[in-house]
């Protein structure tokens, strides 16, 4: 049906642009690459240390939170640089807030990682 075709076309274009956004973040944001490296290490340790299904879910949710916060932070930085490229106290505060959101999610992710991995590491010794 024509409307189904339009719907599929629209979705495909949307995913294409969204994937472009992820690629842009990976290419331009060093923090994003650091998060991805940490994520790959967490997944590797997850397999090595045999985390449970529920632990995988917790890890994936926290990883998703950090990556999402980082992308929103990057988007806000771009918005602010576009709208107000000059130094401005309000812009600085806005950027600090979104950077703070990344910090909060990262600390939570670290705590989740410690809770899941530390007991498994301790029993190995
Ligand atoms: N236009 C501005 N006016 C005032 N302070 C700013 C401005 N731009 C940046 N800052 C300050 O510098 C900090 C870093 O901002 P910047 O845009 O350089 O982010 P960044 O270092 O690229 O961050 P990230 O590492 O998350 O990509 C902000 O959190 C803010 O405190």
Q: What is the ipTM of this complex?
A: 0.90
To test the pocket of ligand 1, the residue of 77, 83, 88 to mutate (highest count of ligand atoms within 8 Å of its CB) is 77
Q: Please tell me the total count of domains within the chain.
A: 1
Residue 5 has pLDDT above 90, yes or no: no
pTM, two decimals, is: 0.86
Give the domain range for residue 37.
2-122
pLDDT band (50, 70, 90) for residue 9: low
Q: What Rg do the C-alpha atoms of the chain give, in angstroms?
A: 19
Q: Which residue has the tokens 């990682």?
A: 113
At residue 6, the pLDDT reads 66
Which residues form ligand 1's pocket by a CB distance below 6 Å?
A: 29, 31, 73, 77, 87-88, 91-92, 95-96, 99
DSSP 86: S
Tokens 């709208």, located at residue: 83
Give the domain CATH number at 53. 1.10.287.3610
Reported as a pLDDT band with limits 50, 70 and 90, residue 14 is: confident
């Amino acid at each position: 049906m024509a409307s189904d075709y339009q719907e599929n076309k629209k979705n495909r274009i949307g995913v294409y642009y969204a994937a472009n956004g992820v690629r842009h973040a990976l290419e331009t944001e060093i923090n994003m690459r650091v998060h991805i490296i940490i994520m790959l290490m967490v997944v590797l340790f997850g397999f090595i240390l045999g985390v449970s299904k529920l632990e995988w879910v917790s890890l994936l949710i926290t990883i998703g939170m950090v990556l999402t916060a980082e992308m929103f932070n990057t988007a806000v930085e771009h918005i602010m640089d576009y709208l107000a490229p000059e130094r401005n106290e309000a812009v600085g505060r806005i950027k600090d807030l979104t950077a703070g959101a990344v910090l909060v999610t990262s600390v939570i992710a670290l705590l989740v990682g410690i809770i899941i991995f530390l007991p498994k590491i301790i029993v190995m010794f």
